[in-house]
Chains A and B, each alone.
Chain A
Amino acid sequence: MAFLEISHLQKSFGTNQVVKDFNLSIEKGEFVSFLGPSGCGKTTVLRMVAGFEVPTSGTISIDGQDVVNLKPNQRNIGMVFQAYALFPNMTVAQNVAFGLRVSKKSNAEIDATVTEMLDLIRLGHLSDRYPYQLSGGQQQRVALARALATKPQVLLLDEPLSALDAKIRVSLREEIRAIQQKLGITTVFVTHDQEEALSISDRIVVMSEGRAEQIGTPFDIYNRPASRFVASFVGTLNLLEGKVDDAKKGVIDLDGNRITLAQPLSGHKKGEMLALALRPEAVTIDPHKARDTAIEGTINDVHFLGSVIRTRVSLGKNSVSLDMFNNPGSPPPARGEKVRISFAAKDLLVLGE
């Protein structure tokens, strides 16, 4: 049994079912992110693990113990909130010490742990400040230290970086990951930011409409999306429509071009329409970098973005977006110009529903 086991979890608010048969096993020390758009149920699952919401059905167990019927204050869980939730009437040190005082630790132990935690987040010199005297990033680091001070079994992070500006978000997410790895604490991180999830997670759970659409490593999620939703939500993607030409050989017709895929199309019939996806970075119009599949197209749009030139090439019914690095030595392609795009057939993803 995994350290944190969620089985057949369901949650309804009245007639609205927000979490549908959610299953997940998280190993001890693993960092798992819930990724999905607003309203997909990711925070509700997190809140059920924390004990703030009661599941309609299903079980949640931590280290072999069923916690569904335990109150939040009995679960030994650390939680960090989007809105920091530091106690305004307490100093930084008092905030960090709060959980330890509640569990009636000795003063010596409290002092030692508070010092250790503040050193961990590098804010020992601000221990006497009140929350309003700190920046957003500092407040969230204190919230992290407070959550870790009680040595919880599981750390839950509910969009902890959403309220921060872009630069702080990047540095703090790296800090969170480093602290998590140092302490080896099992962590669940909720975010709607794909870059955040991809950069710091051991595994990602992509959620949509209350379901886990796909669970996998960042590499798998990005490169082998299991559904159209995952493919479109994670990263930029070209969605194409082709027709099955020869299912056994994996041949498809893409705007009049016969393309042989890396694998046969089992379960598909000749003439059936097929949803395909292609990452922009898998496509090139540079003849020196030509790959095994090439298609003629016409340049529709050119956007100069500085270091990158984003180009849209029309293939007929379909069109493909691709990025090129800016080369000061050669001018960008012009609209209406005929080009030959190329990509590796293995990069063409066949999407499920």
Chain B
Amino acid sequence: MKTQRIGAWIAFAIGAIYFLVPLIGTFEFSLRMRRGEYSFDAYRVVFSDPNFQATFGYSTILGLMTIVFGVLLVVPTAYWIRLRLPHLRPIVEFITLMPLVIPAIVIVFGYLRIYNSSSILPFTGSRRMTDLLLMFGYVTLSLPYMYRAVDTAMRAIDVRTLTEAAESLGAGWPTILFKVIFPNVLSGVLSGAFITFAIVIGEFTLASLLNRPAFGPYLQLVGANRAYEPSALAVISFAITWFSMALIQLVSRLNKFKVPSV
């Protein structure tokens, strides 16, 4: 028993070292901009860079749009699959997993081929339309996480009986979806939303090849041309991801009502 516990601690320590040492190294390096002493100069440079503000703002707005569109797409789909079309569940699960198997570069080349300026749907013909196309791409990339988060939350409630109870009380579909189902899967929706946000903030391939001023390409550009700032940006990116994950935890703990166990 004691040997097993020691083994587990060793495995944990190796994992922690593997994860933390490069991170600590990166953080330490990001503080060395001023010769001979530690400072936050690299962070000051990054935060005062107008390109940082512009690209981060752009990605944030796109991230929020992706979340809204993704939620409107995924929640009704997961609900309907659970309620009326459970036999289609494996197919939908397969489709939502596709973005994990198909690289983003393949997706974006497909987009450029189908939605180029001389096609029937010329999404790449203008900036706004390209932004829209980029958002659709982000929705696709975040689909595996968003769908699973929402579906898991729906598994915790008896969707069918709650729907029937609401129907017997005179409620129509919009009321059932937004007043009964949505509040009860909110923790799942928010989990999916924060993961989506983290994906959008760090995504490079789609934004770069669609030539949009997002945070991912900015990270790459700075990384290729500066010494200390890329390390500061890497730490900032990690901080954003951790912040999102902390919010997921917070939301699931602060839920003032509990869903019944099924």
Residues of A within 8 A of B172 (CB): 73
Query: Quick check: which of A80-88, A109-117, A119-127, A176-184 contacts chain B, the rest being far away?
Result: A80-88
Q: Is B168 an interface residue (CB 8 A)?
A: yes
Given contacts A87-B184, A88-B260, A102-B175, contact A81 B164 (CB under 8 A): yes
Residues of B within 8 A of A99 (CB): 169-171
Q: Is B92 an interface residue (CB 8 A)?
A: no
User: Nearest CB to that of B158 among chain A residues?
Assistant: A83
Distance in Å: Cβ of A58 to nearest Cβ of chain B: 21
Residues of B within 8 A of A74 (CB): 170
- Asked whether, in the complex, the Cβ of A88 is within 8 Å of the Cβ of B165, the reply is no
Residues of B within 8 A of A280 (CB): none
When chains A and B are docked, how far (Å) is the Cα of A131 from the Cα of B180? 14
Given contacts A79-B164, A83-B161, contact A89 B170 (CB under 8 A): no
Q: Is B240 an interface residue (CB 8 A)?
A: no
- Asked whether, in the complex, the Cβ of A89 is within 8 Å of the Cβ of B184, the reply is yes
User: Nearest CB to that of A82 among chain B residues?
Assistant: B161
Q: Which of B166-192 contact A (CB under 8 A)?
A: 166-172, 175, 179-180, 183-184
Q: Is B14 an interface residue (CB 8 A)?
A: no
- Asked whether, in the complex, the Cβ of B258 is within 8 Å of the Cβ of A85, the reply is no
- Asked whether, in the complex, the Cβ of B257 is within 8 Å of the Cβ of A88, the reply is yes
Given contacts A83-B161, A85-B162, A87-B162, contact A132 B260 (CB under 8 A): yes
Report how many residues on chain B are interfacial, defined by Cβ distance under 8 Å: 23
For B244-262 the 0/1 string (1 means CB < 8 A from A) is 0000000000001111100
Contact partner of A81 (CB less than 8 A), chosen from B165, B171, B175, is B165
- Asked whether, in the complex, the Cβ of A89 is within 8 Å of the Cβ of B164, the reply is no
Distance in Å: Cβ of A168 to nearest Cβ of chain B: 18
When chains A and B are docked, how far (Å) is the Cα of A54 from the Cα of B66? 39
When chains A and B are docked, how far (Å) is the Cα of A87 from the Cα of B165? 9
Q: Is A50 an interface residue (CB 8 A)?
A: yes
When chains A and B are docked, how far (Å) is the Cα of A341 from the Cα of B179? 66
Q: Is B157 an interface residue (CB 8 A)?
A: yes
Q: Is A250 an interface residue (CB 8 A)?
A: no
For A38-61 the 0/1 string (1 means CB < 8 A from B) is 000000000000111000000000
When chains A and B are docked, how far (Å) is the Cα of A85 from the Cα of B180? 11
Q: Is A3 an interface residue (CB 8 A)?
A: no
User: Nearest CB to that of B182 among chain A residues?
Assistant: A89
- Asked whether, in the complex, the Cβ of B157 is within 8 Å of the Cβ of A88, the reply is yes
Contact partner of A98 (CB less than 8 A), chosen from B158, B169, B256, B260, is B169
When chains A and B are docked, how far (Å) is the Cα of A83 from the Cα of B169? 16
Given contacts A83-B158, A83-B161, A102-B175, contact A89 B257 (CB under 8 A): yes
Contact partner of B171 (CB less than 8 A), chosen from A50, A78, A102, A143, is A102
User: Nearest CB to that of B259 among chain A residues?
Assistant: A88
B interface list, Cβ under 8 A from A = 157-158, 161-162, 164-172, 175, 179-180, 183-184, 256-260
Nearest 5 interchain pairs by C-beta: A99-B169, A85-B165, A89-B183, A79-B168, A72-B167
Given contacts A78-B169, A81-B165, A88-B258, 9 further A-B contacts (CB under 8 A): A52-B167, A75-B168, A79-B164, A83-B158, A87-B162, A99-B170, A102-B171, A103-B170, A130-B256
A interface list, Cβ under 8 A from B = 50-52, 71-79, 81, 83, 85-90, 98-99, 102-103, 130-132, 143, 146-147, 150, 156
